[in-house]
Structure 1
Amino acid sequence: MSTTSPSPTEPTGSSGRTGPADDTAPDTRTEVTITKIFRRLMPILVIAYIISFIDRTNIGMAKEGLETDIGLSAAAYGLGAGLFFVFYAFLEVPSNLILNRVGARFWIARIMLTWGLLSMCMAFVWNDWSFYIVRMLLGAAEAGLYPGIIFYISLWFPKKTRAKAIGIFLLGVSLANVIGAPIGGLLLQMDGFGGLHGWQWMFLIEGAPAVIMCFWVWFKLPNGPKDATFLTDAEKEDLSRALKAEDKGEQSSHGDLRALGPVLKDKQIWLIVAIYFTHQIAVYSLSYFLPSMIKSYNDDMSSLTVGLITALPWIAAAAGSILLPRFATNITRKKSMVSGGLVLIAGGLVIAATSSFLIALVGFCLSAFMLFVIQSILFTFPTDRLSGAAAASGVAFINTCGLVGGFIGPTVMGSLEETTGNSLAGLWFISILAVCGAALAWGLKAATGREAVAEP
């Protein structure tokens, strides 16, 4: 990268206005630019994911009401929770390829509008099949949001800051559970108001923000650095140069499903899929069943108390996603953090399955602490190894396969609860798979076959 100072008449903004020369080194200017991007983009992305995850997982708070009011069994609830991922997974890759073609602004806004409306429709399910159908449609509507934003982040952030950016984005999951559980508990107390059940009010009120948010995305989210009015021409050029300098990933000349070619041939992608599968079983099993597991320790807890206690492990998850991903600066650290994190998840869940309430809560917090550290690190690999449409389809493919765990985890949890009568029985299943994922993590390799220089 050149360190030649720009000319005295170099443009200072996208308007083409001229100004005094900028004698700052390009690397330093890039760091300033990245800070500016964090401030302008990450709040939109995090809030969008908070809303999406609340709408995706708020059935955890509605579980008891659905069982009482429409006769939904634990097994039917687990199946419905998992069916969300069938259409979600099936449409992930096509959705991300469409985003790559039409731009993030339009496609993310479209996703938010349709999923918000369908989330509100959850208020009107009346039996098992209506529950299944709306959950599948909700999965189809939201398909592509997560991998789309992961790919979008790769368009803005160089490798050494990408894990940090993904970690901050995944903070949305933790905040969704921290915010969503207590709010859900409060909304459930509206039971009977206006002739509606509390869970119906919860779905209606929590689905509305996604519809509103789609307009914010449409007006404020640029498709890429070239469209960013908040960056100067010099900042755009430095960022483009920095991203191109490290772009050694395999590309595809196709913009359709043929872009999956380089993805399917990469053995490391398949290894990441296997690790991510074990991780997603833990994430979604806890997301959907943690409220009912908390309540199983004391059946006299109110819905608000359950919501407040459920928030504690997700506060731990938020702390982990803020504190740790920044240290994943080379392949050795990445492998250690992914493997060690999965072992900690397994250990925490074993503690929860075998202990009294307060110690079990500590176990849940230990497990949750590493959930999104692992996820933020795993999704740096496909954008390091691939680029363009291949990267977009690679991110979506990993998420698609991993989300099979999002179907299996809740389904198995529901079945084990119904057959054993113990809502904690499924924790052993999650723990065993997490240990398997920890062992697989030691096979991860850097894209170039060489470790990157460690950053402090």
Structure 2
Amino acid sequence: MELRTMTLVTRRLLPFLALLYLVAYIDRSNVGFAKLTMQSELGLSESAFFMGSGMFFIAYAIFEVPSNLLLERVGARRWFARIMISWGVVTVLTMLVRSETSFYIFRFLLGVTEAGFYPGVIYFLTKWYPNRHRARIFGLFIFANPVSFALGNPLLGVLSNLDGTLGLAGWQWIFLATGIPAVILGVVTLVYLPEGPEKAKWLAPDQREWIKNELDREAGPRHDKHNPLAPLKSGRVWFFVAQFLLMVLAAYGLSFWMPTIVKGFGVTDTVTGLLTSIPYICAAVALFLLPRSADRHREYYWHMGLPLAIAGIAMGMSLLVDSPAIRLALMSVAAAGILGPQAIFWSLSSQLFTGIRAASAVATINSVGNLGGWLGPLAIGYIVDATHNTSSGLWVIVVAALLGGAVVVQTRRIVTRHAVPVTPTPESNRPHASSRRESVQ
């Protein structure tokens, strides 16, 4: 029953949700490629450009928790569709930017419209999968993150080369072409996505009942449904926030600056797109392997901390070498170490709370943590403006990755010391029945 049910749910949900996330990630990070022609045309400094890019994350942080709470009330299908259609429209309209101020406004609006999508999907998946399946499932979903770069960067490079075609600049083609798919998929979401297992007509009645019973057993008594903001008072939540903020800071610092770094190798925009896909192919492999290894060994914190430490070391080494090939190889290791642990992170953090408080906890972690997507590129931009040296700013990524690994280790000590309980799994359902209880390592 379990294998058959989980396989069916995965086949019906994961490809579609991953496609939505792929489009979302391209739409929030396309500004890194737009920078190649947009910055000079609008006359923006490095710090001004990344201040504008970061307005997305400020809006995201403000509206994330309210968006996730509305998702619980409105329903995932309608709320995801609203998010996608509105962010697609804003992305297309960004091609109308003509000044620093209008750039700030459109990036802020993109954050407002997209707020709640990623944590909403994470929360939505917790309504389908018991705890023991989540690290692998989150890994498959977040797999769309590096894939969006691996597939999207070559496309963005081609779009950038359309500079002047039909009277549009290359950056305008980027926003036009990447916004339209979100609108189309938003309409499809209304038709395709079920609200939850109880509404999934493609599940047999006994399968729907099995999912309900498993999740009810793991949740235990539901004392939290009338206090959705309780997670904001939890110290454990804020340790996860700090952890995620540093991971995001490093990830977006790398993704926003990667096209500029590779363009500095002396290649065309199209070749830049192809070369910048390589680190994210490596990150996709890490996202596939790390969660499986963590589940197999029942050890999660070191599967996050060690890759982050290795990423920091590799990124630091990349700044000390001159060879483009070696530098790209080291950045590939860094990308794998920064993005690979994210599925494990969400598997752990999603177990902190149940019910509507889970929506609030996940949204809090994601919204505040995503401020790293603004702080990282902005800090790098200020340093580059001050030193006129790109490499000096990229040390921010090194520090964030190393510090992130240290925070993971500290979080492990705190969580294990205060014994965060994980609901035991019946012997018949455990992958390793010899274990007397399932615990977070």
Instruction: Assess, with a 3 A threshold, how the Cα gap between structure 1 residues 380 and 248 changes in structure 2: closer, same or farther.
Output: farther
User: Does the 8 Å CA contact 2:254/2:397 hold for their aligned counterparts?
Assistant: no
Q: Equivalent residue of 1:379, what SS?
A: helix
CA–CA separation in structure 2 for the residues paired with 1:352 and 1:198: 29
Partners of 1:316 and 1:249 in 2: CA distance: 42
Report what 2:134 is aligned to: 162
Work out whether 1:62 is the aligned partner of 2:34: yes
Q: Who is 2:229 aligned against?
A: 260
- How far is 1:449 from its partner? 4.4
Distance in 1, Cα, partners of 2:404 & 2:424: 24
Deviation at 1:118, TM superposition (A): 0.4
Cα-Cα RMSD = 1.8
**2:402 maps to what in 1?**
435
Aligned to 1:33: 5
Measured against aligned partners, the alpha-carbon deviations of 1:211-240 in whole angstroms (never above 9, x if no partner) come to: 000111110100100010110001111111
User: Larger deviation: 215-224 or 353-362?
Assistant: 353-362
Larger Rg: 1
Distance 1:250 1:239, change over 3 A: closer
Q: Give the alignment partner of residue 59 of structure 2, picking from 66, 87, 98.
A: 87
Match of 1:399 among 345, 359, 366: 366
2:54–2:378 contact (8 Å) kept in structure 1: yes
Cα contact 1:347–1:363 (8 A) shared by 2: no
Are 1:338 and 2:338 counterparts? no
Aligned-partner residue type, residue 350 of structure 1: G
Q: Among residues 76, 101, 105, which one is paired with 2:48 in the alignment?
A: 76
Q: CA deviation at 1:354?
A: 1.0
Of 247, 265, 270, 2:238 maps to 270
1:229-285, Cα deviation, whole Å (9 max, x unpaired): 11000111111112222224875232xxx4111x12322211111111110101111
**Bigger mean CA offset, 85-94 vs 424-433:** 424-433
Range that drifts further, 341-350 or 443-452:
443-452
- 2:355 equivalent to 1:383: no
State the alpha-carbon separation in 2 of the partners of residues 452 and 422 from structure 1. Answer: 53
- How many angstroms does 1:196 deviate by? 1.0
Q: Hey, what's the Cα distance between the residues in 2 that align with 1:176 and 1:164?
A: 19
**Counterpart AA for 1:117:** V
Q: 1:281 aligns with which of 236, 249, 255?
A: 249
SS of aligned partner of 2:128: coil
Aligned equivalent of 1:374:
341
Structure 1 residue 455: deviation in Å?
4.8
Change beyond 3 A, Cα 1:251–1:370: farther
8 Å CA contact 2:311, 2:335 repeated in 1:
yes
Residues 356-388 of structure 1: CA deviation (Å, up to 9, x unaligned): 211111111111113333211111233212111
Distance 2:8 2:311 in 1: 34
Structure-to-structure mapping, 1:121-200, within 5 angstroms: 121-200=93-172
Distance, in Å, in 1 between the alignment partners of 2:3 and 2:420 is 24
Pair 1:251–1:413, CA change in 2 (3 A): farther
Give TM-score scaled by structure 2 length: 0.92
Aligned to 1:319: 285
The 1:100–1:288 alpha-carbon spacing in structure 2 relative to 1, beyond 3 Å, is same
Q: Tell me the alpha carbon deviations over residues 97-122 of structure 1, each in whole angstroms, 9 at most, x when there is no partner.
A: 00011110000000000000000111
**Structure 2 partner of 1:247:** 219
Q: Which residue number in structure 2 is paired with residue 116 of structure 1?
A: 88
Equivalent residue for 2:24, pick from 43, 52, 59: 52
Report deviation, 1:331.
9.3
Q: What are the Cα deviations for residues 39-97 of structure 1, in whole angstroms up to 9, with x where unaligned?
A: 00001110001101111111111112112211122111111111110111100000000
Matched, 1:412 2:379: yes
User: Structure 2 residue aligned with 1:347, among 299, 302, 313?
Assistant: 313
Distance in structure 1 (CA, Å) of the matches to 2:222 and 2:305: 27
1:303: which partner in 2?
269
For 1:12, the equivalent position in structure 2 comes to none
Superposition TM-score, scaled by structure 1 size? 0.89
How many angstroms apart in 2 are the aligned matches of 1:123 and 1:415? 25
Q: How far apart are the structure 1 equivalents of 2:58 and 2:408?
A: 26
Aligned to 2:70: 98
Distance 1:251 1:287, change over 3 A: farther
Out of 188, 192, 197, which is 1:216 matched to?
A: 188
Q: Residue 283 of structure 2 contacts residue 336 of structure 2 at CA under 8 Å; is this kept in 1?
A: yes
Distance 1:455 1:283, change over 3 A: farther
The answer to which of 350-359 and 81-90 deviates more is 350-359
Sort the Cα spacing of 1:308 and 1:247 in 2 relative to 1 into closer, same or farther, 3 A: same
Contact 2:154 2:277 in 1 (8 A): yes
Question: Aligned match of 1:359 in 321, 326, 329?
Answer: 326
Give the Cα–Cα distance (whole angstroms) in 2 for the partners of residues 77 and 197 of structure 1: 17
- Residue 435 of structure 2 is matched in structure 1 by none
Question: What do residues 327-366 of structure 1 show as CA deviations (whole Å, max 9, x unaligned)?
Answer: 3238961111111121022012112111121111111111
- The letter for the 1-side match of 2:34 is A
Stretches of structure 1 that go unaligned for 5 or more consecutive residues are 1-28
The percent of aligned pairs where both chains have the same amino acid is 36
Aligned residues: 422
